[in-house]
Amino acid sequence: MSSPQLEQQQQSQPVLESPDLQQQVSKTQMITENAISEDRQLKEKPYPTGLAQSEAITRYASEAEIKYEEAPKGTILGATAQILKSGIGTGILFLPSTFQACGIALSITFMVACSIVCYFCWILITKIIRFQESTDTKDPTNRNLTLEACGGKLYGKSFEIFLQVCTYFYSYFTCFGYAIFIYQSLESTFPNHMITMAIMLALYLPLSMYKRIDKLSFFTYIALAATVVTLFVIIGKSAYVINTTDVQYSKLTQWDFSQLPLQFGVFSFAYDVNGVYTEVHASMKTKKQFDYVLLYYLVIFTSLGIFVGFIGYVAFGADTQAVIFDNIGSMKGVGTALAFLYSLAELASILLYIFCVVKFFDRMINRYIIKDTTKYMSLFQEFTTRAVIFFSFTFLALYVTQINVIFNIIGCVFCTILTYGCPIFLYFKARKVQDRILKSVQNGDVEKATEQAKPSIEFLSTNIWIYILCVGCLIFGLLGGISGLVSSVIQLQQTGLS
């Protein structure tokens, strides 16, 4: 309501006889006019140049600006493609060697068990995130939460920092492992790894400038198609070897528990999409549909992983290499083409995993170093940040060749914390918050109950089995992670990194 309209309304109202009431009305009108003026200034004031949109909304947390926030637009198809591309990476190429080490029956059993445990853990975490978001829909910092942000809301800043460190280290070293794989895959074509690095950089930098993960969907579709083509060729070559050789099925290992600790991290890493799945969840238009995304991913990956692991081991037996590419060979140039295709796919995985890392550094630099800057200066800062991060893990990858040990350590340490450990801690705290909300309603605290009940809160299940399953997942992760880490350290002492 503008100032002239207020004056006209004031003239049309009856004169109040009490001086106190007249003073109160004048004060109310003055507050209203000031609020209108501030609201108009906020609408005209642009977001700070160089800040991510979410950061700008945090700094200017008024309803006038919040409504301009771009709503998430992710779909089931796009989210499934991103999760599949993140999950179906280098890990699946190690499965034939894990089948050789642990045996066919044990590997299939363990993969099914891993998929069930991962589904429970990730579904519970996303439900906790949606519960936390629904408790206060007006707070712009309580929207589109990731795992780290949700942990911070529930436990405070220290826990958020801890989760950030785990997530960013996991994502960073995953990209480091993928870089090793790309170097090794293209070594026959480009013996000089600097050439490979330059090609990766030319593709990586422009695409890494996107501020939203769903913007990478088109490149993700291309990379996912390259992954599928490569895996089908590997399956075809393995089937051809089986058909043309005398496979002695009786000599194939079925159960070997002694090798399971050394392979635990590889199994966990093969499934793991930490650092990506809550980012994808936050980008979805309808977040409840993310439950289907996880189900589709785990069913597809488990089926494909079992098939690739089984047929690769049967085809090459005791000669199965750590990476199945080494068994495929050149195939008159087809193997070289596959190496390029899969390297392209792994570059897409690097873009997805490094997304949360570069976003974090952008936010920190804008908050503490470059607070007010021009558009071009901000662009230069973002470009430089991404280039420095890229060169750090690609140069490190030049001097390391034991990729399977790296992936096992990543799986044993960070997957155990983020996948198997987080659910019970987040659920315990979220249940306390939920109990306080319900108690305030039951006690008839009208003011607090009304305030809490305004949002459509997505309450969590209070079944005791949730706690029991969370404890089971934690024990599963701790036992496997500790034993796998010890085995990996022993292997490193014997062989070294290079």
Report yes or no: 462 and 435 within 8 Å, Cβ to Cβ.
no
The pLDDT confidence band at residue 7, using thresholds 50, 70 and 90, is: very low
pLDDT digits (tens, 9 = 90+) for 312-368: 888 888 777 766 767 676 666 677 788 888 888 888 888 888 888 888 888 888 777
- 156: domain CATH number? 1.20.1740.10
Whole-number Cα distances in Å, 124 to 77, 128, 227, 257, 431: 22, 6, 29, 30, 12
Report yes or no: 396 and 254 within 8 Å, Cβ to Cβ.
no
Answer yes or no: is 64 within a domain.
no
Q: What is the pLDDT, as a whole number, of residue 5?
A: 47
The contacts of residue 86 (CB under 8 Å, 6+ apart) are 273, 276, 277, 349, 352, 353
Answer yes or no: is 16 within a domain.
no
Q: What is the pLDDT, as a whole number, of residue 120?
A: 94
The pLDDT confidence band at residue 468, using thresholds 50, 70 and 90, is: very high
Q: What angle do CA 133, 137, 138 make, to 5 degrees?
A: 135
Answer yes or no: is 253 within a domain.
yes
Q: What is the pLDDT, as a whole number, of residue 155?
A: 92
The pLDDT confidence band at residue 407, using thresholds 50, 70 and 90, is: low
- The pLDDT mean for the chain works out to 76
pLDDT digits (tens, 9 = 90+) for 47-104: 333 333 333 333 333 333 334 456 666 788 888 888 887 777 677 877 888 888 888 9
- Written as one string, the DSSP assignment of 136-186 is -SS-GGGSS--HHHHHHHHH-HHHHHHHHHHHHHHHHHHHHHHHHHHHHHT
Expressed as residue numbers, the domain containing 153 is 75-135+149-495
**Phi, psi angle pair for 284, to nearest 5°:** -80, 145
Poorest-pLDDT segment among 14-18, 246-250, 341-345: 14-18
Residue 279, pLDDT > 90, answer no
CA dihedral 126, 344, 211, 125 (to 10 degrees): 10
Number of domains in the chain: 1
Answer yes or no: is 268 within a domain.
yes
Q: What is the pLDDT, as a whole number, of residue 248?
A: 77
Residue 476, pLDDT > 90, answer no
- Please, is 465 exposed, middle or buried when counting C-beta atoms within 10 Å of its C-beta (0-12, 13-18, 19+)? exposed
- Looking at residue 419, its amino acid is T
Tell me what the mean pLDDT of segment 446-467 comes to. 69
The pLDDT confidence band at residue 444, using thresholds 50, 70 and 90, is: low
- Written as one string, the DSSP assignment of 447-467 is HHHHHHHSS---PPP--HHHH
- With tokens 């992954």, the residue in question is 227
The contacts of residue 383 (CB under 8 Å, 6+ apart) are 205, 209
Answer yes or no: is 404 within a domain.
yes
Q: What is the pLDDT, as a whole number, of residue 449?
A: 47
Neighbours of 4 (CB within 10 A): 8
Answer yes or no: is 53 within a domain.
no
Please tell me which of 236-245, 418-427, 444-453 the model is most confident about, judged by mean pLDDT.
418-427
Report yes or no: 120 and 314 within 8 Å, Cβ to Cβ.
no
pLDDT digits (tens, 9 = 90+) for 133-173: 888 878 888 888 888 899 999 999 999 999 988 888 888 88
Neighbours of 232 (CB within 10 A): 12
Q: Rounded to an integer, what distance in angstroms lies between the CA atom of residue 297 and that of residue 363? A: 31
| Radius of gyration for the alpha carbons in the chain, expressed in angstroms and rounded | 27
The contacts of residue 268 (CB under 8 Å, 6+ apart) are 114, 411, 412, 415, 416, 419, 477, 480, 481
Residue 8, pLDDT > 60, answer no
Tell me what the mean pLDDT of segment 268-290 comes to. 82
Q: What is the pLDDT, as a whole number, of residue 426?
A: 93
Answer yes or no: is 63 within a domain.
no
Which is more confidently placed, 497 or 411?
411
What is the distance of C-alpha 12 from the center of its chain? 60
Q: What is the pLDDT, as a whole number, of residue 97?
A: 84
Report yes or no: 85 and 238 within 8 Å, Cβ to Cβ.
no
% the chain with pLDDT above 90: 12
The pLDDT confidence band at residue 303, using thresholds 50, 70 and 90, is: very high
Which is more confidently placed, 354 or 127?
127
**Phi, psi angle pair for 116, to nearest 5°:** -65, -45
Answer yes or no: is 333 within a domain.
yes
Please tell me which of 100-109, 176-185, 487-496 the model is most confident about, judged by mean pLDDT.
100-109
